[in-house]
């Protein structure tokens, strides 16, 4: 008679099994929280953007300061195709920027269609901290930024954005296919390495040493977009969401699809139901695939998420989505996201 049979014969197998289950639960409850930690979309950006964020976190700073400083690296990079004033313009040749920020106390700030201002994420933070509102757009957002000491920049396109725009103008094709094939996106000037990657928004989420979560998301939106088009990135609940009791999530890819399902909010709610960050991201991607009125073969969406234990994950509709995670000793790991469609 083996142990299980003996326990069964004594009528205590259920008890033994439930004790085993409880010891596993206790083990996972007592596992130390993985903090501080920061992660951001697209490793190509994370590898530099996570650096100042990590510095702030490792010195005991707040997740809010970390994510703002982190995404500003991409905003300030004149070679970034898709974030900040160096990014690709809209159809009319004007760079318009969107950003949002959220902290651990449900405080939110957002700007959209902001022109000629270098750091939209900073303006979003000012909206959060200095106004009774949560979102400013267009000329009003710009005026607010200038009133708060930010300089109005020129309208010239960066070297790379100009080349990409001129190339796009040749056909003026409005075909928002993104990130499925590196180097084969419709917006890429041939041979233009800075634009080789047709991505994208930087979404960054972090947990500080006090266990508080914050997130930031900033973008120029889809390259050569229709003038006035706003994607998910400045929309709280779509491009970014933080609930300090549960976790945080951010998105990249086809903004319309992310907005359609309230993507980042949904990921956080799935985590609230007990899913791991990766499972939660996968469920949100599944919902997009199932419900999009578009051909799911032609769109890309990716989510990353973190929970209160400092566990993280991501998931994308198609291949070629990656993200960077910095924790532990401060090294930034490149994670190739799992994906749903071949």
Q: Out of 200, 269, 278, 327, which residue is the one contacting ligand ASP (CB under 6 A)?
A: 200
Cβ closest to ligand ASP, residue 208 vs residue 257: 257
Cβ closest to ligand ASP, residue 178 vs residue 296: 178
222 binds ligand ASP (CB under 6 A): yes
Q: Out of 255, 263, 277, 324, which residue is the one contacting ligand ASP (CB under 6 A)?
A: 255
Q: Out of 109, 221, 263, 277, which residue is the one contacting ligand ASP (CB under 6 A)?
A: 221
Question: Could you tell me the smallest distance in angstroms from the CB atom of residue 42 to ligand ASP?
Answer: 9
Q: What is the three-state SS of the chain?
A: CCHHHHHHHHCCHHHHHHHHHHHHHHHHHHCCCCCCEEEEECHHHHHHHHHHHHHHHHCCCCHHHHHHHHHHHHHCCCCCCCCCCCCCCCCCCCCCEEEEEECCCCCEEEEEEECCCCCHHHHHHHHHHHCCCCEEEHHHHHHHHHHCCCCCCCCCCCHHHHHHHHHHHHHCCCCCCCCCCCCCCCCCCCCCHHHCCCCCCEEEEEECCCCCEEEEEEECCCCCCCCCCCCCCCCECCCEEEECCCEEEEEEECHHHHHHCCHHHHHHHHHHCCCCHHHHHHHHHHHHHHHCCCCHHHCCEEEEEEECCCCEEEEECCCCCEEEEEECCCEEEEEECCECCC
Q: Give the burial string for 126-152 (b: 16+ CB within 10 Å, else e).
A: bbbeeeeeebbbeeebbebbeeeebee
Cβ closest to ligand ASP, residue 38 vs residue 316: 316
Cβ closest to ligand ASP, residue 56 vs residue 187: 187
142 binds ligand ASP (CB under 6 A): no
Cβ closest to ligand ASP, residue 233 vs residue 244: 233
Cβ closest to ligand ASP, residue 97 vs residue 306: 97
Annotated catalytic residue 326: no
Question: Could you tell me the smallest distance in angstroms from the CB atom of residue 335 to ligand ASP?
Answer: 17
178 binds ligand ASP (CB under 6 A): yes
52 binds ligand ASP (CB under 6 A): no
Q: Out of 110, 158, 195, 201, which residue is the one contacting ligand ASP (CB under 6 A)?
A: 201
Tell me which of 41, 62, 201, 219 is the catalytic residue: 201
Site string for ligand ASP, 223-252 (x = CB under 6 A): --------xxx------------------x
219 binds ligand ASP (CB under 6 A): yes
Question: Could you tell me the smallest distance in angstroms from the CB atom of residue 239 to ligand ASP?
Answer: 6
Binding site for ligand ASP (CB under 6 A): 178, 199-201, 219, 221-222, 231-233, 252-255
């Amino acid at each position: 008679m083996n142990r299980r049979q003996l326990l069964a014969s004594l009528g205590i197998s259920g008890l033994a099994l439930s004790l085993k289950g409880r010891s596993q639960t206790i083990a996972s409850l007592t596992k130390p929280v993985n903090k501080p930690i920061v992660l951001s979309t697209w490793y190509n950006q994370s590898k530099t953007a996570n650096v100042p964020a990590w510095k702030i976190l490792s010195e005991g700073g707040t997740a809010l300061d970390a994510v703002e400083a982190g995404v500003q690296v991409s905003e300030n990079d004149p070679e970034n195709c898709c974030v900040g004033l160096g990014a690709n313009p809209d159809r009319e040749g004007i760079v318009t920027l969107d950003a949002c920020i959220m902290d651990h106390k449900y405080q939110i700030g957002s700007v959209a269609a902001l022109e000629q201002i270098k750091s939209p994420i900073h303006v979003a933070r000012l909206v959060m901290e200095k106004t009774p509102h949560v979102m400013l757009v267009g000329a009003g957002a710009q005026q607010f930024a200038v009133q708060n000491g930010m300089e109005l920049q020129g309208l010239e396109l960066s070297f790379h954005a100009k080349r990409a725009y001129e190339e796009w103008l040749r056909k003026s094709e409005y075909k928002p296919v993104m990130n499925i094939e590196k180097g084969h996106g419709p917006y890429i000037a041939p041979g233009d390495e800075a634009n080789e990657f047709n991505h994208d928004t930087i979404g960054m989420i972090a947990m500080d040493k006090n266990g508080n979560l914050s997130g930031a998301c900033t973008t120029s939106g889809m390259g050569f977009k229709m003038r006035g088009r706003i994607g998910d990135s400045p929309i709280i609940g779509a491009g970014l969401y933080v609930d300090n009791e549960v976790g945080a999530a951010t998105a990249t890819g086809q903004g319309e699809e992310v907005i359609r399902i309230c993507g980042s909010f949904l990921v956080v709610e799935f985590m609230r139901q007990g899913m791991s960050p990766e499972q939660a991201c996968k469920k949100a991607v599944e919902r997009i695939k199932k419900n999009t009125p578009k051909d799911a073969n032609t769109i890309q969406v990716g989510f990353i998420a973190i929970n209160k234990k400092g566990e993280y994950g991501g998931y994308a509709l198609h291949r070629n989505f990656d993200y960077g995670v910095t924790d532990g000793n401060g090294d930034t790991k490149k994670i190739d996201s799992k994906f749903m469609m071949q």
